[in-house]
A and B are shown apart, each in its own frame.
Chain A
Amino acid sequence: MSEEEPIPEPPQAEHRLAYHKEMEDLTNGVIRLGAMACETIPWGTDAMLSGDLTEIQKVIDGDDEIDELSYELEERCVSIIARQAPMAGELRRLVTIVKLIGEIERSADLMVNVCKSSRRLYGATLSPHVRGLLAAMAKEANKLLRLSIDAFADGDVPLATALGDIDDELDQLNRDMIESIFEANVGRELDLGPAVQLALIARYYERIGDHAVNIGERVVYMVTGRLLEHAYMHRSDDTAAGDAAPTGGGPNIESMDRDDSEE
């Protein structure tokens, strides 16, 4: 098969190529969806911190586009599964993508929630400390979601597994925020209404981080076929019960991981 005389591809190979193209487009679609969701984080946060109601509305309206793309991608997944009967790695990839679409779409919804809450915050004066915490949480949430998309795009298992630990920073910021809200309440600086909204907003950012961690787990599954879910469920139970310092997830996850592989 010298380069001068390429032979025509047999129909089956052409079919494979079209299928490959379809899979690649789908992957790019998920990356695009991820990019759109990531964008809403600094966008919505800026709008909130500057109290710009027009921008806030734009972020909320922009979510329709994200929803639309996520439905479209999901449909494409289903169609590929139905038509191509993919196996092994490819099936895992498609199942992962279906899951990822949900996680990403939900992350963008959480930013819509942030925006809606920030409308209810309108007029309240936030202390620079609280504003700084909000900006820091947004930055962390954005970083996590971006990294999770990177992990998916590159099939990067070490990065995907590291997301859980990176998320600890965001959890810590959430605790700091709750503490600041209590302090502000003691000092009579914050009314109950805005205080509740602030706690919710902090929670929304924290949830975005959790979705990013979920995406990481799914990416590990996509590449290796192993699910880390149980290990993390165990860990989040710990933190929920203790809500003190985060339990050092590392060794815990590893042992559960081994259990999983034995099943």
Chain B
Amino acid sequence: MAELLIAVAAGAAGVLLGWWLGSRHGDEDKGDIRTGLPQEAIGQRAALPEPPAERAQIRQALDDLRLGVVVFDADGDEVYRNRVARHYTTRRHGNAIVDAALERVVQGAMIGLSLEEAVELHDPPAKSLLVQASPTHDGESVGGAVIVIEDVTEERHLERVRRDFVANVSHELRTPVGAMTVLLDALSDSDDPEVIRRLTDRLQQEADRLVQTIDDLLVLSRLESGPIDARETTDLASIARMAIERVAAAATVRSITVAVNRTFDGPILIDCDRGQLVSAVANLLENAIKYSYEGATVTLRLGIHDGTVDAESGPSDGGHEPLAVLSVIDSGIGIPERDLARIFERFYRVDTARSRETGGTGLGLSIVRHAVMNHGGTVSVDSIEGRGSTFTVSLPLLPTRLHTDRFDADNLLSAGNGTTTSGDEGTMH
């Protein structure tokens, strides 16, 4: 697919180059002087006669491509850049590095070589680019070059996810089975009842672990398989309450306090599958407890977010849709920045050594993400390693109904609360 696109782009750019060269010769006949001016190539185009409609179409098509296309003439001067390629013209920071690669492949193309250079930009957000040059031919000699710049960041990322997933799932299933084989071996050699008891205990643990992983996989595949049927109108606070009950024991063991912080007093109504959301929130709480220092406090914050109040953290495009927002905040070990983008992947582990100690299947956050996505919501994470993490779940609030249909609103809400979203900003923060 990508190869095809590149071929098309190169073809179209070649047509354009041909046209440009042609018109340049024409201009020279009229005695136009254009040599010696630095970096004039792009500006020079303005002086050319208007291209016929067909050429304008080609130009438009090149601009609409998701690839960057740059055309050079036989002198190695740049004569055309499409819209995507124009992003790289600032010649600053990462773009300066793309520019350097471009220069190198153009030099190669000028002597007839088709070169390709991979550019890895590490400055966040990291990017992987592919810069490819093909010489265009003008009869026998090189008539110029077409450069295609392709952003392969997403592809590389997906490749890595796929590769890691296969490796990780095999690892997660193989480890307990491997341990069980060894334990069974030892068991068959032993007569000492004390040893046998200890070995069977360990066997039980490994079997439990395996069952847990498979259960989680099943939960995940059920969540992935489609929308939920059992929706009911629920107050987010009751979901939070149930989730806290579920992790109470784990919190007590590590002397961790789970504090609830409500930034909005009225009921926060959402339409949801209660079971799914309770497990999702409990999962986030469990993680927060697991990765906090003993005796610390984990905060569960509940509120609503009107897209108009805080543009920075609100939904970016057009979403003035009010949201129910639940955050789980801990001051634990935090997550390294480079892992943040990947922790919602199945079986992704920040630290494989540590995860063996703390347990868990490596599927928790994937399950959370899918459960939230099934409700039309999003889950995001904000973390500084060593200082703690904040996981935020945003779900569509029910007020569309409350807004438009007052009767419904009156029926749903008990008197005196203010879930109507207008004029409530004061109580939200």
Contacts and interface: CB of A to CB of B under 8 A. Distances in A.
Given A24-B38, A49-B336, A135-B337, A31 B91 contact: yes
Interface string B93-129: 1111101100000000000000000000111101000
Interface string A128-148: 111111011000001000100
Nearest to B124: A42
B96 A31 contact: yes
Contacts of A18: 36
Contacts of B384: 132, 136
Given A43-B122, A128-B334, A146 B386 contact: no
A46 B386 contact: no
Given A8-B33, A39-B97, A149-B92, A131 B38 contact: no
B197 interface: no
B37 A150 contact: no
Contact of B36 (A14, A136, A153): A14
Nearest to B120: A43
A158 to B, nearest CB: 18
Given A8-B33, A31-B91, A46 B96 contact: no
Classify chain A's interface size: 35 or more
A46 B338 CA distance: 7
Contact of B387 (A38, A132, A142): A132
Contacts of A153: 92
Contacts of B93: 34-35, 38, 146, 149
Interface string B331-349: 0011011100000000000
B36 A17 contact: yes
A18 to B, nearest CB: 8
Given A20-B38, A39-B122, A49-B336, A150 B385 contact: no
B385 A135 contact: yes
Interface in B345-387: 384-387
A21 B77 CA distance: 14
Contact of A35 (B92, B333, B337): B92
Interface majority SS (helix, strand, loop, mixed), chain A = helix
A31 B97 CA distance: 9
Interface in A34-63: 34-36, 38-39, 42-43, 46, 49-50
Contacts of B385: 128-129, 131-132, 135
A6 B336 contact: no
A252 interface: no
A29 to B, nearest CB: 9
Contact of A135 (B36, B95, B96, B336): B336
A79 interface: no
Nearest to B291: A128
Contacts of B100: 32
A133 B387 CA distance: 10
Contacts of B99: 28, 32
Contacts of B387: 129, 132
A46 B122 contact: yes
A39 B38 contact: no
Interface in A119-174: 127-133, 135-136, 142, 146, 149-150, 153
B36 A131 contact: no
A9 interface: yes
B423 to A, nearest CB: 40
Contacts of B33: 6, 8
Contact of A17 (B38, B91, B126, B338): B38
B289 to A, nearest CB: 16
A166 B346 CA distance: 40
B122 A35 contact: no
Interface in B77-98: 91-97
A50 B386 contact: no
A237 B126 CA distance: 38
A47 to B, nearest CB: 9
A21 B38 contact: yes
A34 B92 CA distance: 9
Contact of B91 (A8, A28, A136): A28
A142 B33 CA distance: 45
Nearest to A132: B386
A133 B33 CA distance: 59
8 contacts: A18-B36, A21-B39, A31-B91, A32-B91, A36-B97, A39-B97, A39-B121, A129-B386
Given A42-B124, A132-B384, A136-B384, 17 more contacts: A20-B38, A28-B91, A32-B96, A34-B96, A35-B94, A39-B94, A39-B122, A43-B122, A46-B122, A128-B334, A128-B385, A128-B386, A129-B385, A129-B387, A131-B386, A133-B386, A146-B123
Give the top 5 A-B pairs by smallest Cβ distance, nearest first.
A132-B386, A129-B386, A132-B385, A128-B333, A43-B122
